[in-house]
Structure 1
Amino acid sequence: MSKTIPEPLIREVRERTDIVDVIGEVVELKKQGQDRYVGLCPFHGENTPSFSVSKDRQLYHCFGCKASGNVVSFLIDHGKLSFQEAILKLADNLNIDTQHVELSPEPTSEGEMMREGHSLATRFYHHLLMNTEQGRVAYQYFQERGVNEEAMLHFRLGYAPRERSALKTLLDKREFNLKLMANAGLLQVPEDGRSSYDRFSDRVMFPLHDIGGKHVGFNARALVKDNHPKYLNSPESALFKKSNMLYAYHLAKPVARKKDQVVLFEGCMDVVSAWIHGIDNGIATLGTA
């Protein structure tokens, strides 16, 4: 992790991102005039809207608590993301391939490093699915299940390759602590003490996020019958508690807030299929337990 995010990528993200769309996922904005949107400030409690977003200037300002900034500072202040995480999140929203971006080291906790590892794994698996011959079987599997490319992009679906060292090699190249990545559930350590290897192999991947939208794990489905179990979640870790997880809640949250309801499905694929058919407030539990 020796390089910073390239300036051209930062510039492209800022130029292409619409601050109204991003803040609109959190705040119910109402248009006032040609350029201005207003809503209740997400930084302090209020009953009368004093929070203003300018589409033309791509800035926000609260006349109550004086919070102000651009789309990146909003994700940093409200989403509790680092600058790098904010840029990568916006790049993901724009479907910009960031798999090859190397992050510069920042003072960070083990939990944050685990999340960075999951974020890299998500981008890696998604890249394999969407852009490589290696992921063609998984791509065709999704197509046969009625999952179009728009849904693959929206849910950041992916493919974990059959090779059991692909992700480990990438994590090692980016100078991640492999023992910590095993604790995070991305790698698996054999009981006989041999070298660790990728936990997920030859599976279609559904990234899992916490309530704030940060990567914490995966739900994976086997592509071949002899790859058991058929469905495999990330193991329990400091980040991932299966009983506390709801698939796609971070995506459904803005719609659920407006509709004041969610639709609960049995599994991840059900949520994806429902979204394709217009149900965009769907969530799912991760197993019957």
Structure 2
Amino acid sequence: MEKNWVDFKLVKSAVTMQMVLDHYQIHWLKKSGEELRGRCPIHQGEGQQSFHVSLTKNAFHCFSCKARGNVLDFVGAMEKCSVREAAAKIQDWFAVTTNLMPVETKQVSKTEKRETDSEVGNKPLNFELKGVDLGHPYLGARGITKETAEIFGVGLFSGRGSMSGRVIIPIRNERGELVAYAGRAIDESEPRYKLPVGFRKSHVLFNFHKVEGEQVIIVEGFFDCMKVWQAGYS
């Protein structure tokens, strides 16, 4: 796949306006039905209701500066760049990956494709979720102490975005770089665990970056791993 290949359709379907607003730390918009409304972050006007974001349509419209469109148009307006450059930025910010290939590139064999896929890892994130409740009762119910929650960075995320209202679990690669968040539902919501679009689970062994010595204890789930650490096996 060419380095500069951008799948616009995938980017638009994988990343919501809410996620992009969170990236820019635009938290002053207020909920009004199925919309968010407030001061426009693009032209920084004074109108307190001029900027509208439709959460269902994943689109925005400023009635003052007339800017409107989808996530690509919004990032393009914020960064003062082309839609293509905006898509590339979003793809990088949220680690959106694709297995699609542009028509003009050569076809590869299944063996070559498997080898190529195995070399592609999860890109480190350039942001961290803030405002995490490390002492939420759900963790205690799962047998996780606050000390353990602090070590692993696990807690309820009450901010906006796809992980809102879920217990988030930071996932790091073997170098300790943050590559994703898993979101565990604390009620009967589905899916029980939510992971970012394009995240490659098979490329990461949870907590492997903390391994010391030659012996490794492998368990099934995130919380099982925390309990093993909590029991004194580091």
Q: TM-score, normalised by structure 1?
A: 0.37
* Higher percent of residues as helix: 1
Q: TM-score, normalised by structure 2?
A: 0.45
